[in-house]
Structure 1
């Protein structure tokens, strides 16, 4: 790659509260970035957290992963301001005592970005901020007090403007970053097509099922699917809805499922990507949603995983995912409405021999589209180019 050819290899520090093998979209993005940096000949140090099971990740040659304990919430997630601070405060010392890097890449939240900004300015090291989303928009959507949103917006503005470069996962994020007075480069998002592909094993249950994978929060409005299940089981009594993951809406969704469709909704915890892929392959459709509002520009990366497995998508809501699903002919797009969603869910369940069939040409076409357009490796290579330019500009 260009950076390694132009001079000595870079020393890149990646600071993130979440990293492989912990299953999350951020882990996937950063894991791909680390692999591509190492493939380009650079040395990488990842400053991250211990997880319940770190044995599943073997870093590539040239990569050190340094883990420290951190506070987690009741679901085992590093989520919440106390949990963030338990990572951010020790991170300052870790950055000060780590061999001086050429560039620091930092994953949100903005509090972590601020720590990296302050320490890196002291050490005269450029920072690249990886903006998968805009946190100050998210807290507005979540209904947080106005003072919290105002403080976070000011903090995020400082971090974005101070960064030598900002990586954005979508054009929607770029527009929000510009609104905060900074510039960003779209590198895209993606999925590991070595894990998510149509050729692996699939879950084979006695009941046809639909699957939702990943986070279910105020941004997504995923409860539209549990609310729709009452109508779905009236038409298809054998139907099953499977949720895999976590999020602030899950508790309410459990109550809805028990009231509206008892026995028809299963909630499973986070699991390794290989297991998630098995569930996606066996599903009649993979579900995703985004609510209208301040965070309508969000893109649910779970759509990439479904497309890579060849499984049809059912998207409900607003935002750039509507256009992508339509352009790629990945499945159904409906309004965020219970009746419309229920009808689409029944249609997906009834499609036994069509788009979701294991040998369907459409399944192979969707998977080929994903490999060509939403590969995590391709997105990571674009990110590496930005990181290299940021490091060279500081010399």
Structure 2
């Protein structure tokens, strides 16, 4: 009896390990799950920025130079296209049984078109809904309409849409995607990196930490404004940002005006370093600015903090706040400077936050509910079903 050939899966993503970012982590977990379950995998991605480290996996990995902004990000339509256009021709030439695409929708479009020309299915990994995110930033209405049309085309053409949460799946349905083609796989963090034991950063003063993307729709400036109030009782407490994003310049300007010298920006750091800073923090800060069409988001920085045993102070409403409250991971405050300052002060003043009995309880919750390896295996199973 002839053995069945392994399914050949190609993953197209502008970001991949060792580059730091939730998308890179999520896609690696998917690929690990695919390889673990017997698939043959090849990743088509961008050339990692300098200083990212070396990553040589046992599967195929093809990188291509890409335009990056001054912060080293592949962010902006020109930068996206610098990856998408070469990726289109690379996808036309590669042999595959199916292809997986990660946002933005422009990448989804080149995957959809190349898959149509090659006569093979593709899967769209919806970590978020791009059109909703555009509601939070100042872009022309024509751009929003065009991106909505592109995203809708990609979602409807996909043989399977993988959603990281039920709210994201609900947003996908609005594009007239049949429910049976949508599969919720969950999301999480690498609990081998984000764990309670390990090095602890020391800053010389108590501090709060914000890690990851700094986007307009997250509205992290509220923590800087709140810190000015917190320092009236705790004058030596600081705030440390690690990561990058479109709102970084604005955050630096607010910090320089509101509390000079109390807010530090450390740039992008490796996950292990981010974990060390999280372990040493009084709390990790996470925010979603209400009314921006993003209240359904569950930022992975919530899980990263809790996995290290560190409480979370969440500013905003919706699903992110619900996760913090239901998991007893910290304190969820209204998106209001006074309310956020009170929550931050409570963390500094109290040993027990929002009824969470211990750091161990937060860690256990993440292991049970938000392991990236587990969600990667579920996502891999959803992909492999198409090849059965």
Question: In which range does the TM-score fall when normalised by the shorter chain?
Answer: over 0.9
Q: What is the CA deviation profile of residues 97-120 of structure 1, one whole-angstrom value per residue up to 9, with x for unaligned ones?
A: 11x211100111101101010111
SS at match of 1:243: strand
What corresponds to 1:3 in structure 2? none
Q: 1:24 and 2:28 equivalent? A: no
What corresponds to 1:176 in structure 2? 171
In structure 2, the gaps of 5 or more residues are none
What corresponds to 1:326 in structure 2? 325
Q: 1:80 and 2:83 equivalent? A: no
| Separation of aligned partners in 2, 1:157 and 1:164 | 13
What corresponds to 2:239 in structure 1? 241
Q: 1:202 and 2:200 equivalent? A: yes
After the TM superposition, which segments of 4 or more aligned residues of structure 1 sit over 3 Å from their partners?
A: 53-56, 353-356
| Separation of aligned partners in 1, 2:225 and 2:142 | 33
SS at match of 1:234: coil
> What is the CA distance between 1:349 and its match in structure 2?
2.1
What corresponds to 2:60 in structure 1? 64
In structure 1, the gaps of 5 or more residues are 1-5
SS at match of 1:287: strand
Would you say the 8 A contact 1:298–1:320 is kept in 2? yes
Query: Which residue, out of 97, 100, 104, partners 1:105?
Result: 100
| Separation of aligned partners in 2, 1:177 and 1:148 | 19
What corresponds to 1:38 in structure 2? 35
- TM-score (norm. length: structure 2): 0.95
| Separation of aligned partners in 1, 2:109 and 2:80 | 12
Q: Equivalences for 1:239-388 in 2 at 5 Å?
A: 239-293=237-291, 294-351=293-350, 353-354=351-352, 362-388=358-384
What corresponds to 1:147 in structure 2? 142
| Separation of aligned partners in 2, 1:301 and 1:209 | 20
RMSD over equivalenced CA pairs, Å = 1.5
SS at match of 2:148: helix
| Separation of aligned partners in 2, 1:146 and 1:390 | 37
Would you say the 8 A contact 2:88–2:114 is kept in 1? yes
Q: Equivalences for 1:83-162 in 2 at 5 Å?
A: 83-98=79-94, 100-162=95-157
| Separation of aligned partners in 1, 2:187 and 2:230 | 32
| Separation of aligned partners in 1, 2:147 and 2:135 | 10
| Separation of aligned partners in 2, 1:271 and 1:205 | 16
Q: 1:202 to 1:250 in 2, by over 3 A?
A: same
Q: What is the aligned length? A: 380
| Separation of aligned partners in 1, 2:77 and 2:146 | 13
Q: 1:175 to 1:130 in 2, by over 3 A?
A: same
| Separation of aligned partners in 1, 2:296 and 2:359 | 27
